[in-house]
Chain A
Amino acid sequence: MDKLLVSPSPHIHSGASTRRIMLDVIIALVPAAVISIIYFGYNAALLIAVCIASAVFSEWASRKIMKREGTCGDLSAVVTGLILALNLPSTLPLWMAIIGAAVAIVVVKQFFGGLGQNFANPAIVGRIVLTMSFTAAMTNWVEPFSWLKGDAVTTATPLASTYAGNADYLDMFLGLTGGSMGETCALALIIGGVYLICRKVISPIIPVVYVGTTAFMLFVCGEDPIKGVLSGGLMLGAFFMATDYVTSPNTKLGKVIFAVGCGLVTAVIRVYGSLPEGASFSILLMNILTPQIDRLVISKPFGVQKEKKEAAK
């Protein structure tokens, strides 16, 4: 017999892979991406393509420069680029999108050690950096289908115009309002989110608790919770960014704490802040708290609780 391979058990593997998970996230984002292209035209398609290309190139180049193993194959850069694109208004100049994706991958992800080591969700930081740097361009939202009319009509998002009360619930649910490309259509995002939950890629805890807390807080503060939930980046954030494995807690209780925190901060920013949008900042803040949450919350091992009770007797 030839040389034998010796390795610790187990000797079989389930076949799960990072690539497969990332592929599932991409599949889940397809409805939102398709809707964004239908609503906002070829500009949207171009932005999505450019963001993904920039993210993947940044990933490849930074790994190359750092003389590390290439990681483009795990598709995580594609996910980051796609999520970032969906966070942008369709009118954003392409060069800004390129910068956003590069910042997300190079600064947030690779500077900290690559996949699994980033302290915050790269796409969120990309969006925030762009919002801070190019506020006017990043809030230049247009009406859906204005690309068909030929002239882009700039509009406020329902969020900024909440008090005008000009958008009805169904329009908001279907995304027939102004806003960033991927975040207007709640229906598409929910379809994607449910797919991820069914595929067991994400647990429903974070999206449900996050959206629930936000709605509850808005209600307490005297705002319209349904409008609040359907507007802005909340749905996109709750299903696709707050659930990012790397930057959210591992345990169930940790996830609940994280999601409640996200919900509270989002509501507070929306009600009292001067910013148009709170979802990205709230998630960033809770991303930063995640290591602390994970340190404090330890799952209760099987049988340990009982032992403590007995000891107390």
Chain B
Amino acid sequence: MKITNLLKPVKRPLGGVKAPHRKNTMNCETVIMPPPERVYIPVQQHIGAPCIPVVKKGDAVKVGQLIADSDKPFSAPIHASVSGTVVEISEKPIVTGQMMPFIVIESDGEMAVDETITPPEINNHDDFIAAVRKSGLVGLGGAGFPASIKLSPPKDKKIDTLIINCAECEPYITADYRECIEKSEDILDGVYKVKDLLGVDRVIICVEDNKPEAIRILSEIAAKDDRDGDAVKIMKLASKYPQGAEKVMIYSATGRKVPAGKLPSDVGCVVMNIASVAFISRYMKTGMPLVAKRITVDGSAVKNPMNVYAPIGTRLCDVVEFTGGTKCDPKKVINGGPMMGMAAYTPEFPVMKQTNAILLFNQEDAKLPTPTACIRCGKCINNCPMRLMPVSVEQALKTNDIDRLKKLNVLNCMECGCCSFGCPAARPLVQSMKLAKQKVR
């Protein structure tokens, strides 16, 4: 079958690096993980206001039952991911070090579903947004932006393009790729639902060219679907990190530049992760809120790299244990991808809505080269997708020159890590950028 709905990128992304792919788990079909003994569910798994627990110690809960909610609009509710009993509600740290209440549920192993769960009734635009909010959906790509907010852009902004992010530019991670392969029908259905909601006339599904199978499948089902002519197009993007960063992707797909400090809606775009739209489709059919997440488990210390569908709140170590454990002592545990993920000081942190990978590195991989003197080669400037000057930022930071830091526009940094990754002197440039951002703020 001839693929006719394949688009070429409009612009080549600025900067970026050729990160290794290491997509070892591409052909690993997702395995559903049985409930662990206990799940540890933090009350804030999104950008915005934290939720407040609506259950108390000793309560019996079922899968999908609301356990924490907030009355603030910029938030997303939290649901029980296993059935069982709430045994503890206490302050604990999440992987960023932030302290927040955790709801600990002891599983009864039944995975009994809450009876009140029914598909939402959608009559109009507001119903749809309310349903998305109720589903607890946040941007599954990693940032955790509440989906209900993303889907209701300011009324005065004309949105004409919906971009579906399936770049998955971080090395190792294949969770979104597996979503494409295993749930391609859900994706297309979700895409049309969101498309109708936003009233846009074009949808671009962006996939990096290291996933030809995903491109083929998506193109085929999009071509077969006759709901709306050829509004849905697939775009093959170069595999260049950070292709999946929102601003970079909008630039590649449409040639539009999101102004500094503005949102995609300012250039008429909404960007959604591919797993998020697939989830919307499933939620509208079943009413089951976001209680589990597809996660890539990989890294040199993992015995069986694979994709796991794990209940939210499962500890990282429990997920790794389920996959078959480690083959050597892990020296680094990363929650997320190797470019932007957080190194955890203990593997007991829980899987959250934004988690898309767990990587365990052995001694050799955990060690990074020792920083040496900056030779001012300018690689960090060439690699920066935001066209910033990490070398100058580092210098200005040393002398605490805040005015200079402002002039260097440090706040535009998205901490993608390209500067550190490519630095011949192995300097921790992202760290300097993060610190500089704090100072300017």
Contacts and interface: CB of A to CB of B under 8 A. Distances in A.
Contacts of B202: none
Contacts of A307: 259-262
B213 to A, nearest CB: 25
Nearest to A311: B259
A298 B389 contact: yes
A263 to B, nearest CB: 21
A66 B218 CA distance: 63
B377 A303 contact: no
Contacts of A16: 379, 422-424
Interface string B142-159: 000000000000000000
A12 B376 contact: no
A105 B258 CA distance: 47
Interface stretch (B63-71, B176-184, B324-332): B324-332
Contacts of B367: 5
Contacts of B379: 16
B420 A303 contact: no
B430 interface: yes
A21 B375 contact: yes
A76 B409 CA distance: 32
Contact of B409 (A13, A20, A301, A310): A301
B260 A18 contact: no
A67 interface: no
A156 B330 CA distance: 67
Interface in B5-35: 14, 17, 19-20
Given A251-B389, A298-B408, A303-B258, A18 B368 contact: no
A250 B392 contact: yes
Interface in B165-183: 171
Main secondary structure on B side of the interface with A: loop
B331 A4 contact: yes
Contact of A1 (B258, B340, B347): B347
Nearest to A113: B373
A10 interface: yes
B412 interface: yes
Interface stretch (A114-122, A180-188, A220-228): A114-122
B431 interface: yes
B387 A4 contact: no
Interface of A: 1-2, 4-14, 16-18, 20-21, 71, 74, 76, 114-117, 245-246, 250-251, 294, 298-304, 306-307, 310
Given A9-B339, A74-B372, A303-B247, 12 more contacts: A4-B331, A9-B342, A11-B341, A12-B171, A16-B379, A116-B375, A116-B425, A245-B375, A251-B389, A299-B387, A300-B387, A307-B259
